[in-house]
Every structure is written in structure tokens, then in C-alpha cells.
Structure 1
Amino acid sequence: MSKLQGKKITPMPISAGITVVDLINEYFTAYNSARLREACKLLSQDIFQAGVTVGVSLSGAMTPAGFGVSALAPLIRHGFIDWMISTGANLYHDVHYALGFELFAGSPFLDDVKLREEGTIRIYDIIFGYDVLLETDAFIRKVLQAEPFQKRMGTAEFHYLLGKYVREVEKQLGVQHSCLLATAYEYGVPIYTSSPGDSSIGMNVAALALEGSRLVLDPAIDVNETSAIAYGARETDGKSAAVILGGGSPKNFLLQTQPQIHEVLGLEERGHNFFVQFTDARPDTGGLSGATPAEAVSWGKIDPDELPSTIVCYTDSTIAIPLVTAYVLNQCQARPVKRLYDRREALLETLQKDYLAAKDKPVVKEEGTEEVPSYRCGTPIKR
């Protein structure tokens, strides 16, 4: 038989006491188990290394299941997550754990009419009391009335301030393991929300507006700050990585940083260097959640030269993230924390300076001896 490409599959019985690393390396041999193995190796060997700025998008009900505390916070503490885009719902439910409230593993087949009568909330097979929502709302509204919140701001600053208060409550209550929001505050990891009105946090912001609150969450600030982070990634560290848990609006907000840089601001077209996604969405329905890295190349979101190293694993993120976290914590040395939150203004200043300089340049470029009409980013205008 001719020599084939790939590694020979040599099945061996799984033994008791096998480690997560050995399980993934030796027994995740094909299909999406193999994609998960490839993702673990790419993350540990190339992405979670010096010289890479790592952005993570988070969608789906991950924090109610505890993964904010158990998986994402440890990745932040080890310097593996530099900035994030999250749904507001994930950050809201994350706070339940910081406040000491109890959530329970239940069943997806409970009687929801009866649950409503009993004052119980269900997120598939997670259940908790309705009072958890009410008390979390009350905490958030009280915090948001503080003077630091009485202004226009982006969601990174908003979450940083909220995380500060959440961390103080954790200390008062003696919470042993910090939630995602509090950990991001401590380690200077900016967290953005692409749709700030689409969660209970946003609902409470809106309620306070009816009372005269001056808090305004400005999405333009977020678009510019996230683009500045992506723009500065190659200048300060060398490469940019997009690690996507689920899909939806957070995925797009993370990836749109590159079209914002070249399509809208007219700066250099390059795209993210790494793309790793865990999703259960199909690409053939046309939705962003299932869109592949190859499709993202056509938008300039992904560097085409890096396409061979992109990975999409079709699996539930709640299966992937604990396995990935256990694997990389075992295989990687912790990285220095970048504290991008503290560098936001400097990064934004660089982006603005380069944008204004590019905006004033003539829309032509030299190709051989001819001047070819082009867009501000340098892409030729085809007639």
C-alpha cells in the first residue's frame, strides 16, 4: 500500500487513571474529536504563546453552568485571554456566583408551568429561584447609581467598574473562587458586549434611565477600542488570535475588527492570524454562527496565508471548554498578563493617528510605472 498522509491509527484500550492530555492526544482520533485535539494543540503550541494577542468571544449560556468560574477565569489568570466579547447574559448570570446565590443541575424535562408557579427559572437543565434574578437586579441597580457610572462610556469601562464592585462583594462574602467579571477586573482584561441592551444588565440600565441616570453605553466607543486592540496586536506582540465559543453577535464583533481597520478606516489589510471556533451551527444556512474561516477570508477577517491553521470543531462549547482548559493548563506555561484594559487609550490614540493620516493620502498607488486608482486601504479599484 502506498504511503498515505496522516498518522496511523493504532487503537489501544483506555486504562484507568489516564490523564486529560493523554486521552485527547491518543484517543481523539477522528471527526470532531480530532478537530478538538487539533484545537488543543494549536492553542497550546502556537496561540497561548508569547507574541500573540488572544481575543475570545463568548455566547450561549456558559456562565450559568459555572464555566465562567471553572474554565474562563483560570485561563485569564494564566494570561491566556487578553480581551473578550461576551453576551450580556453571560456576564449577568456570572454575577450570581459572585453574590453567593445557588444554581442547581436539574432536568430538561421538568414541568415549566409548575416551575413558574413555584418561582423557579430553567435554563435547559439548570434551575434556580426567581429571587436570584430579582436580587441580582437589585444589586446591579444599586451599583449603577454610583457616581463613576454617571457618564457616557464603552462597555469595557462599564464592565471594569462593575467587576470592581463585584470583586469587593466576593471578598466580603468570602467567595473562594472569583467569577469571570471579577477576575477580568483584577487582571485588566477588557470585556465588551456587542449588544448591551440585550440582557438583564441592559434592562436595568434602561430602567435607571427612566429615573434620570446619566449612564449611556456607547457602541461607537466599543467598535473603535476593539479595532484598536486588533490593530495594535501585530505592532506590539506580532499576531492576533480569535478564539470563538459559540457564534452569534460576539463572534462577529470580534471578527469585524479587521474589516473596520481596512474597509472603513482605510488602513492595512491583514486579518487575524489564528481562528479557532467551537460551534454547533451549520454553515449552509448562511448564518454568521456557522460561517467558516474560509468565508471570513473573503471579508478580510482572517489572514489568507494563515488559513491552513484555522480550526472549526463542531461540538457543544460546554464539552469543549473544560477539556481545552484542562489541556492547556497542563501543557502551557502561564503568560505575562497584558492588561489591555490599561492600554486602551494608547492603542486608540495610535489607531486614530494612523486613520487620520491615511484619510488625507491620495487614493492612488504605484504598480510598476502606472498609478492605479485604489481604495484608502490600498486595494485596487477594478473598473
Structure 2
Amino acid sequence: MNTQGTISRFMEKYFLHFNAATIVDAAKAYSLQLGKGSKMMVTLAGAMSTAELGKIFAEAIRRDKVHIISCTGANLEEDIMNLVAHNSYERIPNYRDLTPEQEWQLLERGLNRVTDTCIPEEEAFRRLQKHVFRIWKEADQKGERLFPHEFMYRLLLSGELEKYYEIDVRDSWMWEAAKANLPMVVPGWEDSTMGNIFTSYVMKGELKASTVKSGIEYMHYLADWYIANSKNGIGFFQIGGGIAGDFPICVVPMLYQDLERTDVPFWSYFCQISDSTTSFGSYSGAVPNEKITWGKLGVETPKFVIESDATIVAPLVFAYLLNM
């Protein structure tokens, strides 16, 4: 009996060549990794939270298809912003046609544009700010030090935001991650909106910079997690490029080249959804084999690159894994 869902069967029948075939191949290999007991890291770059990837990513977390996440500070906060301010978001279908004057008008209305979607300043950023500041301040006064994602987990689990929810909480991947206390790394958190806001409080003398743990501590945390969970391999599913992927993939060569751990395996699977061009010299555009030369992937590591739009491809891969 075929237990596949409609989307999975559609992909099997029609996704037969080029990027389409690679989507199916990568999804099957991801499933095989899970079947042999491997863990899987998913990295989120770009504006995946604002693109509402949480609608399916949350289900992937619930169904144990994801075991650790690396994301930008923007993705960390924007999923929660969508949870509490969704009804005030505005979509701009003709965003390519906007003049500088029209962009300025959006700013004056308190609308920060991300491609075709505007995030409302007051309902999203400022609504979240007053609550997260309380969490930061309490930790600061107690001498506690937490990672950026741990502060957000604490905020979500406190129940303070429930009165603001404007979408089904099950569509929030951060809510599911918080409930599961899912391991996470958030490299470069300082350049996010909440990172900027935290910095302003430090500059005003209201918080200590050391209250939020650093990127070095994130790498140490990730290294410990990798060592403890690598018995059956750890896969790497990279959505987009940038620091969300560049930071965590380096943990392997750091461990065996710099720490001189001889028992550390390479990443056991690699897939990247990317639109970067290799010839431009970008790390995000590099073909997976280049990562062999840096000691991140092995010769036998299953490797996939899907050159397409992550907002289209990632939901399809997760749908395949979930037998939708």
C-alpha cells in the first residue's frame, strides 16, 4: 500500500529532471538519513520566517525531522512577530515598481518592507520589545547569561504573548522549537532588530552586554552538541546561504583540525537550496565538493544543490518528508 500523500506522489511522477529531480533526490536522501538514526541540522537564511515557512517547518519539528537549527537573528524574531502581528502585515504585490518616494511613504507609516511583505513597526517590533526587555532585565539583574534563542524560548513559554496571537500557534516554528527546547545556534544575532535594540540598552547603561552569550560560546555549544550526537551521523540541510550556513558547517574542521579530535565524522549529508552563482566567488555559491577541501564534507557524503527559490523548494522537501 502506498502511504505517500498527494504532494509526494505528484513529485515522484513529475519531478524527473534538473532542479526538480534534485528536489526529490535530496528529499529521499534526507529521509534515508533519518531512517538510519542520523540527526539533521536545518539552517534558515533570508526571510524564511516572514515568508511563513513556519506553517510547514513547525510540523517538521513536531514530527522529529529536525534536531538542531541554525538561523539568523531575523528569522528568530520574525517568526514571533508574525505570530503576534500577522493581521497588521501588508503585502505589496507590485514591490518592483515602487518609487523611492513610495518607499519613504511606507517608512512613514511604520512599515518595513521585506520584498513583497511589510512588517509593521509598532505591532511587531515594539510590541515584542517591551516584553523581551523584561526578560533581558530580569536575567541581567540575576547575573544570568543566556543565548539569544534561550531568551526567546523563555518569552514564548512565559505565556505573556498569548493575548496577541493572530495565527494558529501551531504554525509558529519558534513555538514548536521552544516547547521541544530544540538546540539552536543564532550566529551574528547582533545585526537583527532585537540585537540592535539590546545594543541600545547596553549603550544607555540599562543592560550589560555579557547578559547575552557570544558567538564564540555558540560555537562551543555547537561543538559539544555535535560530538554528543554524531554517532550515526549528522546531516546539513541549508536553506539559503550566508552566516546561518557558513557558521555551523565550520564546526567539523574546527573540531578535528584545531582541537585535534580524531573521532569527529564529517557531515553525513549536505543539501543547499541556493540561487548564488559559483563563478562570483561567493561561499554560498560554492559547489559542495569545494567543502571537501575545507574538511567539512567527505568524498562519500551525499551532496545536493537545488538552484531555485527556497520559498518554493523548502516546503516541497518538508512535504515529501511528511508524506503529504
- TM-score, normalised relative to structure 1: 0.74
Cα distance in 2 for partners of 1:66, 1:169 equals 22
What is the letter of the counterpart of residue 127 of structure 1? C
Give CA deviations for 1:92-144 in whole Å, capped at 9, x if unaligned.
Answer: 11111332443233222343122223332211101232323222233322332
Contact 1:71-1:321 at 8 Å conserved across structures: no
Within 5 A, what are the aligned runs for 1:124-143? 124-131=115-122, 132-143=124-135
Number of positions where the alignment pairs a residue of Structure 1 with one of Structure 2:
306
Contact 2:131-2:160 at 8 Å conserved across structures: no
Is 1:182 the counterpart of 2:175? The answer is yes
Structure with the greater alpha carbon radius of gyration: 1
Q: Alignment partner for residue 90 of structure 1, among 75, 84, 87? A: 75
Q: CA deviation at 1:150?
A: 5.2
Question: SS where residue 43 of structure 2 aligns?
Answer: strand
What is the letter of the counterpart of residue 112 of structure 1? E
Residue range with higher mean Cα deviation, 164-173 or 270-279:
164-173
Cα distance in 2 for partners of 1:42, 1:186 equals 28
Counting aligned pairs with the same residue, the percent is 22
Contact 1:153-1:217 at 8 Å conserved across structures: yes
Aligned structure 1 segments of 4 or more residues deviating by more than 6 angstroms: none
Q: Which residue number corresponds to residue 73 of structure 1?
A: 58
What is the letter of the counterpart of residue 294 of structure 1? N
Q: CA deviation at 1:177?
A: 2.0
Q: Which residue number corresponds to residue 48 of structure 1?
A: 34
Question: SS where residue 217 of structure 1 aligns?
Answer: coil
Q: Alignment partner for residue 209 of structure 1, among 196, 202, 205? A: 202
Is 1:292 the counterpart of 2:287? The answer is yes
Q: CA deviation at 1:218?
A: 1.9
Q: Alignment partner for residue 114 of structure 1, among 64, 83, 105? A: 105
Cα distance in 1 for partners of 2:274, 2:7 equals 21
Within 5 A, what are the aligned runs for 1:13-52? 19-44=6-31, 46-52=32-38
* Runs of 5+ unmatched residues, structure 2: none
Q: CA deviation at 1:89?
A: 0.6
Q: CA deviation at 1:25?
A: 0.8
Cα distance in 2 for partners of 1:28, 1:227 equals 37
- TM-score, normalised relative to structure 2: 0.87
Q: CA deviation at 1:54?
A: 0.8
Cα distance in 1 for partners of 2:252, 2:108 equals 48
Q: Alignment partner for residue 48 of structure 2, among 39, 54, 62? A: 62
Contact 1:153-1:218 at 8 Å conserved across structures: no
Q: CA deviation at 1:172?
A: 4.4
Contact 1:277-1:313 at 8 Å conserved across structures: yes
Within 5 A, what are the aligned runs for 1:142-161? 142-147=134-139, 151=143, 153=145, 155=147, 158-161=148-151
Q: CA deviation at 1:182?
A: 2.2
Q: Which residue number corresponds to residue 270 of structure 1?
A: 265
What is the letter of the counterpart of residue 141 of structure 1? F
Give RMSD over aligned pairs.
Answer: 2.1
The answer to which structure, 1 or 2, has the higher relative contact order (CA under 8 A, 6+ apart) is 2
Question: SS where residue 89 of structure 1 aligns?
Answer: helix
What is the letter of the counterpart of residue 304 of structure 1? V
Contact 1:152-1:217 at 8 Å conserved across structures: no
Give CA deviations for 1:143-190 in whole Å, capped at 9, x if unaligned.
Answer: 3212378546453xx413321322423544566324222211111211
What is the letter of the counterpart of residue 275 of structure 2? D
* Runs of 5+ unmatched residues, structure 1: 1-17, 332-383
Is 1:256 the counterpart of 2:254? The answer is no
Within 5 A, what are the aligned runs for 1:335-350? none
Contact 1:242-1:254 at 8 Å conserved across structures: no
Q: Which residue number corresponds to residue 246 of structure 1?
A: 240
